[in-house]
């Protein structure tokens, strides 16, 4: 498949459309127009708008996971990396947020990337608890959700305008996030 294949153009156009309008607001005709193809061609590759979104969200999730790498022994560092990633890529935060708002987990396919990623991270946290690296009093699901919520708490917010020392503002927000997670789930010193 060439780097400029119809499928790739559809995915690129859909990524921008979903980031801008969400799933319900996205329009296949706008995606097709931006991808320089027809609606019929979009549906030849993806049987529904939701299935197209799931492909996009799986790609975005893979990019986030690669950039942030969860280490159960250093959850504060993980939270900082999540913050950094979404501060640099706000469109990725919007894409993932739309899925949380608009798609339920009940109708997710068994191979849903988000559900599989959550399960894998929960297993990692559970193993860290068993190894004495993380307080076993916490439910691993709560740990994961709390960290993600704290880490993304500034992702949907506007930073100061350029010239207002936005780098210092962003660094202060990151420091607050890392400190909050450190207090909840302290990093384990490495020997």
**Domain membership of residue 14 as a residue range:** 1-47
- Which residues does 35 contact at the CB level (< 8 Å), separation at least 6? 6, 9, 10, 12, 13, 14, 42
Residue in 156, 176, 188 with CA at minimum distance from that of residue 79: 176
As for how many domains the chain has, the answer is: 2
For CA atoms 46, 103, 126, 134, the dihedral sign is positive
The 10s digit of each residue's pLDDT in 11-31 is 999 999 999 999 999 999 999
Residue 26 pLDDT? 94
Residue 84 and residue 4 in contact, taking contact as beta carbons nearer than 8 Å:
no
Here the CATH number for the domain that contains residue 43 is 1.10.10.60
Phi, psi torsion values for 157, nearest 5 degrees? -100, 155
Note whether residue 191 is domain-resident: no
Domain match, 70 and 17 both: no
Here the CATH number for the domain that contains residue 78 is 1.10.357.10
Note whether residue 29 is domain-resident: yes
Band of pLDDT at residue 163, cut at 50, 70 and 90: low
Instruction: Indicate the residue among 47, 67, 85 that finishes a domain.
Output: 47
Domain match, 8 and 42 both: yes
Q: Mean of the per-residue pLDDT values for the chain? A: 88
Domain match, 98 and 77 both: yes
pTM of the model: 0.84
Domain match, 17 and 67 both: no
Domain match, 92 and 159 both: yes
Residue matched to tokens 């909050």: 180
Residue 132's SS3 state is coil
Note whether residue 189 is domain-resident: no
Mean pLDDT, residues 143-148: 95
The 10s digit of each residue's pLDDT in 100-133 is 888 766 666 777 777 888 899 999 999 999 998 8
Domain match, 153 and 180 both: yes
Note whether residue 97 is domain-resident: yes
pLDDT at residue 61 is higher than 60: yes
More confident residue, 18 or 189: 18
Band of pLDDT at residue 41, cut at 50, 70 and 90: very high
Mean pLDDT, residues 50-62: 90
């Amino acid at each position: 498949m060439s780097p400029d294949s119809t499928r790739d153009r559809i995915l690129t156009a859909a990524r921008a459309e979903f980031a801008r309008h969400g799933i319900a607001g996205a329009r296949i005709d706008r995606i097709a127009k931006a991808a320089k193809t027809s609606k019929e061609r979009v549906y030849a590759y993806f049987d529904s708008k939701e299935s197209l979104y799931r492909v996009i969200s799986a790609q975005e999730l893979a990019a986030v996971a690669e950039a942030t790498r969860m280490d159960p022994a250093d959850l504060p560092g993980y939270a900082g990396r999540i913050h950094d990633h979404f501060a640099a890529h706000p469109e990725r935060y919007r894409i993932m947020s739309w899925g949380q708002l608009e798609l339920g987990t009940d109708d997710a396919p068994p191979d849903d990337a988000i559900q599989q990623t959550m399960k894998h991270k929960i297993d990692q946290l559970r193993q860290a608890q068993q190894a004495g690296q993380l307080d076993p009093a916490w439910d691993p699901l709560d740990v994961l959700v709390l960290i993600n919520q704290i880490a993304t708490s500034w992702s949907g917010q506007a930073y100061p305008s350029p010239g207002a020392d936005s780098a210092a503002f962003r660094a202060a927000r990151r420091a607050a996030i890392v400190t909050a997670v450190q207090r909840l789930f302290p990093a384990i010193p490495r020997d």
